[in-house]
Structure 1
Amino acid sequence: MAGDFPDYPQRLHDAVVANVPRWIERITLLACEGQSVDRRDAVQAVLSNVKADTQAFVQEQLGVLLSTDVDQQRTNPLEVLRASTRFATAALRDTGVPAPARDEFQQRLDPDDEYLLGPMSWMDLGEDVHEAGIEWGAWKAATVLTRRRAEGKLD
């Protein structure tokens, strides 16, 4: 997907894709902590596949999203990342890691995130993703506002 986007979406795409393996490994192993039965070895055995599948999913789905005109985007990059936790969720479930209790807000936010893996903000993936995400959001807002002004819809 490199080279398919304007500068800010490209920076976001590159930063997110580069950080996904480290992020998904960290949150998957974190889900194993504090359990009555240690499942880390079983999770470690499938972690390389989880990281590869998650990264491929994010690269493709984030690429599709960022290639879509800003006025046509119906989701956001954090939703792509939340959806990408399906591979870690399956690995945790398949290896017998019990899911934690979730409150009503967490269940509404992401009903499929039974292990609370999804990111709440860009910072969950690291400082460089946070910066790229903030820049992308500002770029997207400026793009939309510029268009609305040109259409005479804003003063």
Structure 2
Amino acid sequence: MPDGPTDDDRALAAYATQLADAVDAVIEDWVRRCVDGACARAGVVPDDEVRRATDDAARSCRAEVGARLRALFELDVDEQRGTPLQVLRDAVRYPTAVLAAAGVPGVGRDDFDRRAFPDDLYGLTPAGFADVDPSLQEPGLTWGAAKAHVHLRRHR
């Protein structure tokens, strides 16, 4: 920050906290929905071992995603090299690991998805915040707009 935080910087920080808190509230359920949905599509009934692995993965995902988001948001706008959506997309590895260990077959994906998300064997990568949970749409868009505003204000 050039001369210390402005009102816009403080607002962005508040929006970042709201987004991180919103993700924290829904990310475990997202992991469970990913596993349940992929199992259902493949005709696989998850047993107790898969349920336990899913719960473990959901908790680990929540811890990692929360830490990564908060670390990203601690950086000044000009130092941020990633986005919250990238953090969420990286989290696909949690349900993917459970599904692969359970022997659930992957799904067919188009060329773009195979190139862009080579490790997403189950087509779980969220295109936007609402794909993780509809409640993330507004805080995600608000944070993005606030970040763009701060960036433009600084670099006009």
**Normalised by the shorter chain, which TM-score bucket?**
0.7 to 0.9
Distance in structure 2 (CA, Å) of the matches to 1:8 and 1:55? 19
Instruction: Provide, for residues 49-103 of structure 1, a one-character-per-residue CA deviation record: whole Å limited to 9, x for no partner.
Output: 0110110110111111111111111111111111112121111111100111111
**1:45 to partner: Cα distance:** 3.1
AA of the residue aligned to 1:83: D
Closer, same or farther in 2 for the Cα pair 1:143/1:69, shift >3 Å?
Answer: same
More helix as a share of residues: 2
**1:39 to partner: Cα distance:** 4.1
Maintained 8 Å contact 1:29/1:43? no
AA of the residue aligned to 1:17: D
Which of these residues, 10, 20, 27, is aligned with residue 20 of structure 1?
A: 27
**1:115 to partner: Cα distance:** 1.2
Aligned residues: 144
Task: Give the match for residue 8 of structure 1.
Answer: 15
Maintained 8 Å contact 2:31/2:94? no
Maintained 8 Å contact 2:34/2:124? yes
RMSD: 1.5
Is the partner of 1:112 in helix, strand or coil?
A: coil
Question: Does 2:41 match 1:40?
Answer: no
Deviates more, 1:108-117 or 1:50-59: 108-117
Distance in structure 2 (CA, Å) of the matches to 1:34 and 1:146? 47
Task: Give the match for residue 117 of structure 1.
Answer: 124
Task: Give the match for residue 8 of structure 2.
Answer: none
Q: Which has the higher relative contact order, 1 or 2, with Cα contacts under 8 A spaced 6 or more apart? A: 2
Superposed, 1:1-155 pairs within 5 Å as: 6-36=13-43, 38-41=44-47, 42-148=49-155, 154=156
**1:125 to partner: Cα distance:** 2.5
Unaligned runs of 5+ in 2: 1-11
Maintained 8 Å contact 2:13/2:73? no
AA of the residue aligned to 1:57: E
Instruction: Provide, for residues 1-21 of structure 1, a one-character-per-residue CA deviation record: whole Å limited to 9, x for no partner.
Output: xxxx81111111100111101
Q: Normalising by structure 2, what TM-score?
A: 0.86
